[in-house]
Amino acid sequence: MHISEGVLSGKVLGVGALITIGGTFIGIKNLKFEDYPKVSLLTSAFFVASLIHIPIGPTSTHLVLNGLCGIILGWKSFPCILLALFLQAILFQFGGLTSLGTNTANMAIPAVISYYLFRPFLKKNYFITGFLSGFFSISLSCLSVFLSLYFTGSFFKNFGKAIFFAHLPIAFIEGIITGFILSFLSKTKKEILEG
């Protein structure tokens, strides 16, 4: 779901950059010293997940794990996702530097919304809460990417639709993986889920 350099209009890039600057500021402001290991771990997980490609028809897609970041970190997902996307753009040319703000907003906004929607139910059922967070975050990220392309120009509408439908199977996979990760953490490292 990385949007490459030179695709988006200046207005979409500007709005994405402003949202990312604001969200990153809030995330860093809420960051405490004891959060550094947790944020580092989830930044690494987000970064590595994109290297696992899943073939879907003539194309492929990859895991994102923004739902996992969101349910655990909340607003701290913004700096987490920003750093991981920056490294992906520099090291692997996924996305780009000019589209970094919009790509970050497309991944981090659903993560933060997931935090507020599903975090209150976390202790009731870790797996179901994780599944909902993972599924919702990817679905909303796909919608955000579609809207980014839609507001850039009518030429990109079909690309946006293709991205949306190609990632629907990933939404189910992300939900299952996020559910299992949260269930596992609840039994082995419950302190990661607290705070």
**What does the pLDDT look like over 156-171, one tens digit per residue?**
767 767 777 777 888 9
What whole-number distance in Å separates Cα of residue 164 and Cα of residue 10?
Answer: 23
Mean pLDDT computed over every residue of the chain: 87
pTM listed for this prediction:
0.89
Residue in the block written with tokens 């976390």: 122
Reply yes or no on whether the pLDDT at 147 is more than 80.
Answer: yes
**What does the pLDDT look like over 51-90, one tens digit per residue?**
776 665 544 577 889 999 999 999 999 999 999 999 988 9
What whole-number distance in Å separates Cα of residue 75 and Cα of residue 115?
Answer: 8
- Paired with 59 in beta bridges are 56
Domains defined for the chain, CATH in brackets: 10-187 (1.10.1760.20)
Q: What pLDDT sits at residue 166?
A: 76
